[in-house]
A and B are shown apart, each in its own frame.
Chain A
Amino acid sequence: MKNLFNMSRFKIVFTVCVLLSLYSFVNAQAPAVTTVGITPPAPVTELTAVDTDNDHGHSITVKWTPSADDGAGANNVLGYRVMRSNSFEGPFNDTVGVVPLGSTNFENSSSIEEGAEGFIPDNTDFYYRVDALTGDSLVFSSSEVTGPVHSYGQWFNKGLIPVFFAVIIFTALTVLFVSAARKGKELYVRPLAGIEAVDDAIGRATEMGRPILYVFGLGVASDIATIASFTILSRVAKRVAEYQTNLIVPCYDPIIMTVAQDIVKTAYMDAGRPNDYKEDAVFFITQAQFAYVGAVNGIMIRELPATNIYMGKFYAESLMLAETGVVSGSIQIAGTDEIAQIPFFVVACDYTLIGEELFAASAYLGREPLLLGSLKAQDYAKAAVLVLALLGILAVNFSGDLGLTWLVNFKDWFKVID
């Protein structure tokens, strides 16, 4: 342990020395002079400077091959200094950057605001030189000068061509399916176990003569999960009206409450029982998380609902609600797109709609064109991803055997990182 401490102490001393000397370089403009002790390192080679690609301009990338004495040879290079000038002959007074040893490139960029410090005007020629620095601020060696080079903005980011096409195709799919759904075209969505369970659960509640509790969670009215939940409530309310069971909908958000009241009222009218609708079935509790949970848990223990349905956005309260539901012996059906809460619902509820299943359920029940069309477009995109991924895997693993070497690069179509 003691040994280790000494080691790190050594490192600190060393690095501080390195740093102090590096800093003294920043403004040094003296010519290369050899002083006693340190010999100048080999200069960097193959220095190039080009406009930075796929950007808005005002940036030049300088690249080089490190000095032979960087980490090897005389091992006396501590870093590099990138110098810029307006002419080939110099003077190179402008230190645009200092980078640590081992670096092979530097991006010299500036603000896009004219007049900002170090502003690089587009289409203006510059020349660059890179100095290999040593522990002595007066000992360094300069590379050959490279240039002229000027920066300019690009009209299209060439690295993103596959993305561009994917976006176009996806947009077309979405528009196509949404308009098809609006025209009333039959679009198939598979039945979901959780939704079928809702009907059974309502039947059971009627037999037992106990109410149904419907919880939206803590979302706001514009959350997609809440919107999907509205559709499901509409179905539940309709069934409840037909079976003449009681429905309890405690709300966290006043706006959700108003919408939910409308939905339930309409459902009762659709079921032909407008007189059975009770104004106080849907009510507002409070907008404090734990207080809301406390109130809903109180309802569960008092009313012993046969079924608890949780659909929408849920946070930490998910497990507190589901726990009380288990204790009061209710059947529980949950659905949320909050991934972190799904595990708790799965282990505490009888049925759980996972993430997108909630939206699918809503599209399945409500047949709302926007949701249904988007769901379909996403499904096709998923199918495309599946097919392409499988093809890619085959290509990468077997193209060599089949002599299809060009396929090896197939996966690069997807890759947007360098």
Chain B
Amino acid sequence: METVGIWCGAILTLAIFSFLYKDNPVYKACEAIFIGVSAGYYAIVYFFDSIYKKFWLGAVTADQPEEWLFGGAILGVLFLTRLFPKISWVARWPLAFIVGATAGLYMVNYFVTNAMNQVASTITDVIARGDAGDINWIQSFGTLVILVGVITGLMYFFFSKEHKGAFGGGAKVGIWFLMVTFGASFGYTVMSRMSLLIGRMDFLLGDWLGLIN
């Protein structure tokens, strides 16, 4: 069974890679299977882990049923009205619920984690000292870099004042910092993409052809 699986996987992998040469029906077929299998996979996991395990076992068959779970199920079923154009407006109710809940949760969470706590950790002693009280110059320089980077970066994203004079200079330093940041994320993205390919190559050469042990 495992061998059959590995062969299936290998054939699918090569078939998708054929797109690199040219778009072709074999690739299109794989794309169709991809859509079908992913949708089916999600359907099963959400069915058993959420609808069955959480709702059905919790609210219907349990010894002490938790009735309020029905509220969620009712909202969920209302979502399915989307499939029927005449009553599809009802689906806005669960959608409104999700949007509202997300907005409520995000509002304070984002602010605390990504604004308050980030500002707090930017406000530090620039001069870092070692255990013996000696100044750690490298660390101090790093702290200064963070400080300048955060402040000028924020200046760049300030839209109520034209970028002129000292403020403009600050904003310019800010965009340089942002560019270094984007460079780092460029490098890391390339790193991730290469890893994806290495994973596939490892499957083809190792699991399938057995060239890597």
Chain A partners chain B = yes
The chain A residues found within 8 Å of chain B, CB to CB, are 115, 160, 162-163, 166-167, 170, 188-191, 288, 290-291, 294, 339-340, 342-344, 346-347, 354-357, 360, 363, 375-376, 379-380, 382-383, 385-386, 388-390, 392-393, 395-397, 410-412, 414-417
Main SS of chain A's interface residues?
helix
Pair B125/A115 contact, Cβ less than 8 Å: no
Q: Which residues of A contact B23 (CB under 8 A)?
A: 294
Pair B182/A343 contact, Cβ less than 8 Å: yes
**Nearest B residue to A392, CB-CB:** B123
Q: Which residues of B contact A290 (CB under 8 A)?
A: 19, 31
Q: Which residues of A contact B50 (CB under 8 A)?
A: none
A388 to B120, CA, bound (A): 10
Q: Which residues of A contact B125 (CB under 8 A)?
A: 396-397
**Nearest A residue to B27, CB-CB:** A290
> Known contacts A389-B151, A414-B116, A415-B116: does B123 contact A190 (CB below 8 Å)?
no
Within 8 A of A (CB), among B108-126: 108, 111-112, 115-117, 119-120, 122-126
The chain B residues found within 8 Å of chain A, CB to CB, are 19, 23, 31, 35, 64, 107-108, 111-112, 115-117, 119-120, 122-127, 147, 150-151, 154-155, 157-163, 178-179, 182-183, 185-186, 189
The 6 nearest A-B residue pairs measured at CB: A414-B120, A392-B123, A343-B186, A411-B123, A343-B182, A415-B120
Give 18 A-B pairs besides A167-B111, A360-B159 with Cβ atoms closer than 8 angstroms: A190-B162, A290-B31, A343-B186, A346-B179, A356-B159, A363-B159, A379-B159, A379-B160, A383-B158, A385-B115, A389-B123, A390-B151, A392-B123, A397-B125, A397-B127, A414-B119, A414-B123, A415-B120
Q: Which residues of A contact B182 (CB under 8 A)?
A: 342-343, 346
Pair B161/A347 contact, Cβ less than 8 Å: no
Interchain nearest-CB distance for B11 vs A (Å) = 19
Pair B116/A162 contact, Cβ less than 8 Å: yes
Pair A343/B185 contact, Cβ less than 8 Å: yes
**Nearest B residue to A287, CB-CB:** B35
Q: List 11 A-B contacts (CB under 8 A).
A: A339-B185, A340-B185, A343-B186, A343-B189, A385-B154, A386-B151, A386-B155, A393-B122, A397-B127, A411-B124, A412-B120
Pair A340/B111 contact, Cβ less than 8 Å: no
Q: Which residues of A contact B123 (CB under 8 A)?
A: 389, 392-393, 395-396, 410-411, 414
A355 to B127, CA, bound (A): 33
Interchain nearest-CB distance for A194 vs B (Å) = 13
> Known contacts A340-B189, A379-B159, A396-B125: does B116 contact A166 (CB below 8 Å)?
yes
Pair B183/A166 contact, Cβ less than 8 Å: no
> Known contacts A344-B186, A416-B112: does B127 contact A190 (CB below 8 Å)?
no
A290 to B19, CA, bound (A): 10
**Nearest A residue to B182, CB-CB:** A343
A190 to B159, CA, bound (A): 5
A354 to B31, CA, bound (A): 33
Interchain nearest-CB distance for A211 vs B (Å) = 24
Interchain nearest-CB distance for A327 vs B (Å) = 17
Q: CB < 8 Å: which of B19, B112, B124, B160 contacts A190? A: B160
> Known contacts A163-B111, A166-B111: does B119 contact A388 (CB below 8 Å)?
yes
A226 to B41, CA, bound (A): 30
